[in-house]
């Protein structure tokens, strides 16, 4: 199969991801997006990019260190990929600066908010900034003179610094010297309100410029010639030499302590920095050209998440308060309501309260004997976790599988695991070489020697905070076809013994997920060859797996119509002659993050529809415990289909995915605007109002 996969057209996953992040930047550029939301998208773009460099670019750097012999075995050159990445990102950074300087700042000014540079300050503002520096920042700026390149201070991960070009006072022929100063954004807000000379207006100064204005205080024997900002991000990988020997949890804990002191993955600097200073810093901090990334005057722009709004709510999105799901939230007995029929919730359009109550009622119900759940990412303050602790106190058996290899949530998950264990919960942790990514929970009730199981299956984590921002689907069911197989998944997680009975309904990673997906694509191919209706609609976050892409190309060539809604990575090339002429792909980036995975196989008008925790990525299909679950309820199935049709009709926020990464907006049905997230919300709202009548 490997030889067969090499010759198909593919977009490298990291180049495709950069195209996705460009779609985020497009939202910051869109004048139809409210101003403060545009600023938020600047923050999202920057936060995404930071993680990308700490993970993906660091990965390519590690591959470069393996040597040429090993690199020859790779399907791509890590050196060339890094070169392509830096070229694309440099272009995006210039675009970013242009948006901020030419659109955001003028628009803020039109709304009475000015961001002041230090040379623009009035005398009163200068005094305020000097007092603020002395009273709040002086102990934390950590000035260091880089004497003869012998002093090499440690640059903390993702913290801001100013590099200073200075000369000794009173010496006409003194040579240039350099220093660095920390911008203490960990001790102070990044955006500081200063007195305005105009009544009713708001003036702000960015923290970096407060330090710039006062830097001469730190080097009294020098003339300050100029200052330039810089930042270093570090490799975020947890390097565990052997996951299969010893205590994996303790190894992860040990590795976490080293994450912020890892090797450089990116050195960001002001693009106006002169080459002499840049070369000096490269030598001082042992940097290579491939480590460098030019940006504008300011870095750590994820701090725009905290940009002050001054109560100007008209510059934000109109609120879309989550709709109640009364069938469960208002039910006296949530389990009786699930017995009556299956229920599907759409978050964040609908409230997450029904999921929380599912566990809170289970903790109190005297007939509930067991609760089991998989936790991949957990909210810091979690009513679900508290319900599990209360359930143990009530004498119930509670099992939680905690995935401690969920990137950047390892520490939080470990803390929750320890807290649950201390309360008496039976906690199981990560498998070596394997992640558990399923979104499953099951509850057992016993009464009069009879038992009944209730389950929740979702496309997103049990996380009360992200449920306000991520578009996910969740199913409540007591269908024995599903609950019996969910119990089988938990048996494997607890005992690591392979199930004795094959999965017939669930598609489970490590067992039948990959083979079942391939088989369902092959079935559509057979329908097409017979001249029958052959059609698939696939929605996911990422599409990268080569085997699946090859099979989709085969399906396209056989005449299968394939529509793809993919938020992020898409390595498949849609519309490519001879490969994918029957494949059309879009991406939707809007106020909420599209996170649900839905696989709709038309199956010659005998539809099969699955929801899933899994993307079509090699890691999901080969190295994780994932779950895709069928929708058997015809009413729910129709509901999901309608939402997919709305998304495919989006002519406001949908971008076309193609091999040119241009992210052109989809234009369908131009006579009527369809913005799918708003359409979905109001569709559900109409349903709610109809039910109340």
Tens of pLDDT, residues 268-287: 999 999 999 999 999 998 88
Mean pLDDT of 125-140: 96
Architecture of domain 508-692: 2-Layer Sandwich (3.30)
pLDDT-based confidence at residue 477 (cuts at 50, 70, 90): very high
Q: Please give the backbone phi and psi of residue 396, each rounded to the nearest 5 degrees, phi first.
A: -90, 155
230 touches 267 (CB < 8 A): yes
Three state DSSP letters for 142-196: CCEECHHHCCCCCCCCCCEEEEEEEEECCCCCCCCEEEEEEECCCCCCCEEEECC
Terminal Cα distance for the chain, rounded:
58
The crossing angle, in degrees rounded to 10, of helices 13-29 and 35-52 is 160
Calpha distance 87→294 (Å, rounded): 10
85 touches 14 (CB < 8 A): yes
CATH topology of domain 2-315: polyphosphate kinase like (3.30.1840)
Overall pTM > 0.75:
yes
The crossing angle, in degrees rounded to 10, of helices 513-529 and 546-558 is 10
154: buried, middle or exposed (CB in 10 Å: 19+, 13-18, 0-12)? exposed
Q: Please give the backbone phi and psi of residue 592, each rounded to the nearest 5 degrees, phi first.
A: -110, 155
- Residue 38 tokens read as 């545009």
Calpha distance 268→140 (Å, rounded): 21
Calpha distance 120→182 (Å, rounded): 23
Calpha distance 95→42 (Å, rounded): 11
Q: Which residues are catalytic?
A: 437
pLDDT score recorded for residue 203 = 96
- The residue among 19, 274, 296 whose CA lies nearest residue 165 is 274
Cross-strand pairs, 592: none
pLDDT-based confidence at residue 212 (cuts at 50, 70, 90): very high
pLDDT-based confidence at residue 103 (cuts at 50, 70, 90): very high
- The residue among 418, 421, 631 whose CA lies nearest residue 506 is 631
269-296 burial string, b = 16+ CB within 10 Å, else e? bbeebeeebbebbbebbebeebbbbbbb
pLDDT score recorded for residue 2 = 34
pLDDT-based confidence at residue 96 (cuts at 50, 70, 90): very high
Q: Is a pLDDT exceeding 70 seen at residue 262?
A: yes
Calpha distance 318→309 (Å, rounded): 14
Calpha distance 607→618 (Å, rounded): 26
Three state DSSP letters for 624-667: EECEEEECCCHHHHHHHHHHHHHHHCCCCCEEECCCCCCCCECC
Q: Where in the chain is the domain with CATH 3.30.870.10?
A: 326-501, 508-692
225 touches 176 (CB < 8 A): yes
Q: What average pLDDT does the structure give for the chain? A: 92
Q: Is a pLDDT exceeding 80 seen at residue 252?
A: no
Q: Please give the backbone phi and psi of residue 544, each rounded to the nearest 5 degrees, phi first.
A: -135, -25
Per-residue pLDDT tens for 572-625?
999 999 999 999 999 999 999 999 999 999 999 999 999 999 999 999 999 999
Within 10 A of 649 (CB to CB), how many other CB atoms are there?
Answer: 16
Per-residue pLDDT tens for 161-193?
999 999 998 777 778 899 999 999 999 999 999
180 touches 207 (CB < 8 A): no
Match domain 326-501 to its CATH number in 3.50.50.60, 3.30.870.10, 3.40.50.1700, 3.30.560.10: 3.30.870.10
**Strand order across the beta sheet in which 222-234 lies:** 144-145, 177-183, 160-168, 222-234, 264-270, 292-295
């Amino acid at each position: 199969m490997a030889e067969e996969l090499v010759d198909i057209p593919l977009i490298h996953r990291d180049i495709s991801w950069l195209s996705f992040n460009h779609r985020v930047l497009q939202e910051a550029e869109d004048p139809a997006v409210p101003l403060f939301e545009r600023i938020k998208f600047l923050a999202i773009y920057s936060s995404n990019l930071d993680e990308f460099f700490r993970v993906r670019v660091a990965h390519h750097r590690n591959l470069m260190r393996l040597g040429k012999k090993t690199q020859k075995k790779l399907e791509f050159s890590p050196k060339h990929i890094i070169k392509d990445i830096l070229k694309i990102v440099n272009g995006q950074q210039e675009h970013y600066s242009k948006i901020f300087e030419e659109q955001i700042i003028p628009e803020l000014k039109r709304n009475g908010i000015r961001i002041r540079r230090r040379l623009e300050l009035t005398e009163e503002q200068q005094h305020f900034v000097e007092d603020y520096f002395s009273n709040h920042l002086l102990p934390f700026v950590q000035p260091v003179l880089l004497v003869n390149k012998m002093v090499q201070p440690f640059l903390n991960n993702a913290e801001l610094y100013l590099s200073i070009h200075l000369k000794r006072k009173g010496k006409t022929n003194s040579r240039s010297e350099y220093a660095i100063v920390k911008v203490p954004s960990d001790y102070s807000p990044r955006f500081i309100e200063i007195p305005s000379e105009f009544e009713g207006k708001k003036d702000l100064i960015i923290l970096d410029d407060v330090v710039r204005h006062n830097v001469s205080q730190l080097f009294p024997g020098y003339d300050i010639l100029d200052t330039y900002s810089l930042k270093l991000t570090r490799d975020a990988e947890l390097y565990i030499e052997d996951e299969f020997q010893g205590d994996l949890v303790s190894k992860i804990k040990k590795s976490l302590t080293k994450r912020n002191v890892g090797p450089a993955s990116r050195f960001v600097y002001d693009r106006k920095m002169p080459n002499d200073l840049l070369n000096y810093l490269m030598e001082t901090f042992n940097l290579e050209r491939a480590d460098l990334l030019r940006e504008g005057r300011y870095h750590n722009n994820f701090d725009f998440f905290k940009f002050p709004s001054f109560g100007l709510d008209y510059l934000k999105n109109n609120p879309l308060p989550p709709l109640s799901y009364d069938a469960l939230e208002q039910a006296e007995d949530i389990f009786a309501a699930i017995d009556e029929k299956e229920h599907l919730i759409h978050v964040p359009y609908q409230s997450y309260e029904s999921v929380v109550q599912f566990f809170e009622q289970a903790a109190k119900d005297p007939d509930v004997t067991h609760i089991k759940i998989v936790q991949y990412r957990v909210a810091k303050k979690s009513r679900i976790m508290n319900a599990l602790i209360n359930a143990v106190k009530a004498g119930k058996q509670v099992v939680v599988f905690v995935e401690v290899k969920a990137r950047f949530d390892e520490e939080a998950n470990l803390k929750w695991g320890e807290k649950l264990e201390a309360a008496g919960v039976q906690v199981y942790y990560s498998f070596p070489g394997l992640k558990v990514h399923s979104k499953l929970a099951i509850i057992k009730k016993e009464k009069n020697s009879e038992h009944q199981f209730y389950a929740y299956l979702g496309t997103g984590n049990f996380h009360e905070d992200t449920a306000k921002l991520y578009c996910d689907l969740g199913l409540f069911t007591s269908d024995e076809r599903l609950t019996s197989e969910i119990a089988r998944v938990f048996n494997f997680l607890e005992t690591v013994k392979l199930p004795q009975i094959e999965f017939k309904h669930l598609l489970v990673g490590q067992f039948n997920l990959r083979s079942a997906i391939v088989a369902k694509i092959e079935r559509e191919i057979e329908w097409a060859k017979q001249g029958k209706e052959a059609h698939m609609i696939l929605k996911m976050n990422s599409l990268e797996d080569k085997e699946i892409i090859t099979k989709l190309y085969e399906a396209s060539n056989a005449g299968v119509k394939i529509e793809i809604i993919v938020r992020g990575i898409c390595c498949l090339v849609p519309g490519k002659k001879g490969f994918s002429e029957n494949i059309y792909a879009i991406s939707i980036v809007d106020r909420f993050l599209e996170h649900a995975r839905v696989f709709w196989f038309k199956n010659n008008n005998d539809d099969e529809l699955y929801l899933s925790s899994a993307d079509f990525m090699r890691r999901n299909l080969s190295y994780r415990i994932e779950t895709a679950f069928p929708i058997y309820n015809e009413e729910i199935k129709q509901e999901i289909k309608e939402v997919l049709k709305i998304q495919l009709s989006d002519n406001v926020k949908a971008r076309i995915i193609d091999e040119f990464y241009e992210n052109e907006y989809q234009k369908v049905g131009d006579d009527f605007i369809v913005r799918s997230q708003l359409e979905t919300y109001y569709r559900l709202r109409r349903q709610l109002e109809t039910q109340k009548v």
